[in-house]
Amino acid sequence: MKRLLALAAMAAILVATPLSGAFHQGKHNLGRLKQELTLSDTQVEQLKAIMKDAKATRPERTGDKPTDHAAMQKHREAVDARINALLTAEQQAKFKAMKERAHSQHGKKRSR
């Protein structure tokens, strides 16, 4: 019974886990973005290209945490700008809310 409860709890956590960054989870988040932002097929294809390029141009780790963090922050901002460029104003507002929700959830995880 304890094992069943533990599995149910893990499943609930996985289902409730918010988006962590707009594109970091690959296909899973692409589907979530398509659904939550009501993306057109053209937008989905453009987003796939942006995500593929983002993965290919992701900065290499140097081992210096502040440098790595700054490089990733700059990379994320550039990718987000490209994503925002293909979204409508309404979709941009939803995208911003998704990122804020994910950011606030990330902070809650760290404080545990």
Kind and range of the H or E run holding 38 = none
Span 16-58, pLDDT tens digits: 444 444 444 455 578 888 999 999 999 999 999 999 999 999 9
What is the C-alpha to C-alpha distance for residues 67 and 64, in angstroms, rounded to an integer?
Answer: 5
Stated as kind and residue range, the H or E segment containing 27 is helix 27-37
Kindly list the domain boundaries of the chain, sorted by start residue.
2-110
For residues 10-20, average pLDDT: 44
At 10, which amino acid appears?
M
What is the Cα–Cα distance from 74 to 78, expressed in whole angstroms? 6
pLDDT digit string, tens, across residues 74-90: 999 999 999 999 999 99
